[in-house]
Structure 1
Amino acid sequence: MSTPALRVHEHCRVVLDNDWSGDPDGLVALAHHLLSPANRVVAVTSSGLDPRFPGPLPRAADGAALATELLAAVGGADLPPVHAGSEEVFGDASGSAAADAIAAEARRDDELPLFLVCGGPLTNVAQALRQAPDIAERLTLVWIGGSLDAGAFEYNRDTDREAAAFVLAQADLDVQSFPVETYRRCAYSVAELEHDLGTTGALGRWLWEHFTDPPDWIRVGGNWPLGDSPPVLVTALTVESSRWTSSTAEGGRGERRVYTDVDTRLLFGDLLARLRAHERGRA
Structure 2
Amino acid sequence: MPIPVPEEKKVRVFVVTDAKNEADDQFAIVHALLSPKLEVKGIISSQFENTSLQMGRPAGSMKAGLIEINHILSLMDMSEDVAVYRGLDLALESANGIENEAARAIITEAKKDDPRPLFVISFGPLTDMANALLLAPEIGEKVTSVWIGGGDYPKGGWEYNLSNDPVAANAVFASNVTNWQIPRAVYTTMRTSLAELTVKVAPYGKIGEYLVQQMHEFNAWASARFPDINWPKGESWSLGDNPAVTVLLDEHEYGYREQSGIQFAKESFEYVQHDELKSFRVYTFVDPRFTLEDMFSKIQLFDQLDKQSRK
Determine if the TM-score, normalized by the shorter chain, exceeds 0.5: yes
Q: Report the Cα distance in structure 2 between the residues aligned to 1:89 and 1:80, rounded to whole angstroms.
A: 25
> 1:59 & 1:158 partners in 2: Cα distance?
15
Contact preservation (8 Å) 2:60, 2:89: no
Structure 1 partner of 2:213: 209
In structure 2, what residue type is equivalent to 1:28?
F
Which stretches in structure 2 are left out of the alignment for 5+ residues?
262-274
Corresponding position of 2:232: 220
Q: Does 1:8 align with 2:5?
A: yes
Show the counterpart of 2:257.
Answer: 245
Aligned-residue offset at 1:78: 6.0
- Say what the alpha-carbon RMSD is for the aligned residues: 2.3
TM value normalised by structure 1: 0.90
Report the residue type matching 2:285 in the other structure: D
Match of 1:46 in 2: 45
CA distance in 2, matches of 1:95, 1:242: 39
Q: CA deviation at 1:106?
A: 1.5
**Which runs of no fewer than 5 residues in structure 1 stay unpaired?**
none
Contact 1:188 1:225 in 2 (8 A): yes
Residue 167 and residue 144 in structure 1: after superposition, are their counterparts in 2 closer, same or farther (change >3 A)?
same
**Displacement after TM superposition at 1:87 (Å):** 1.2
- Secondary structure of 2:192's counterpart equals coil
Listed as ranges, the matches of 1:36-75 within 5 Å are: 36-49=35-48, 50=50, 51-55=53-57, 58-75=60-77
Find the counterpart in structure 2 of residue 174 from structure 1: 178
Is residue 273 from structure 1 mapped to residue 297 from structure 2 by the alignment?
yes
Q: Distance in 1 between matches of 2:159 and 2:260?
A: 23
How far off its partner does 1:95 sit?
4.0
Query: Counterpart in 2 of 1:81?
Result: 83
Q: Match of 2:281, as an amino acid?
A: R
After superposition, the C-alpha distances for 1:10-68 in whole angstroms (9 at most, x for unaligned) are 42000000101112211100101101111100011011222223436742122112111
Deviation at 1:6, TM superposition (A): 5.1
Deviation at 1:101?
A: 1.7
Specify which of 136, 156, 161 is matched with residue 156 of structure 1: 161
* 8 A contact 2:70–2:79 mirrored in 1: no
Q: How many residues align?
A: 277
**Percent of aligned positions with the same letter in both sequences?**
30
Task: Give me the whole-angstrom Cα distance separating, in 2, the residues matched to 1:208 and 1:127.
Answer: 33
Deviations 1:169-202 (A, max 9, x none): 11x2111111001101111122222332212232
Residues 28 and 242 (structure 1), Cα distance of their counterparts in 2 relative to 1, 3 Å cut: farther
Alignment-derived partner of residue 19 in structure 2: 20
State whether residues 133 and 172 of structure 2, in contact with CA within 8 Å, keep that contact through their aligned partners in structure 1.
Answer: yes
- Could you say which residue in structure 2 is the equivalent of 1:114? 118
CA 1:266–1:46 in 2, change beyond 3 Å: closer, same or farther?
Answer: same
Instruction: Give the direction of change, closer, same or farther, for the CA distance of 1:22–1:94 in structure 2 (3 Å limit).
Output: farther
Whole-angstrom distance in 2 between the partners of 1:181 and 1:126: 23
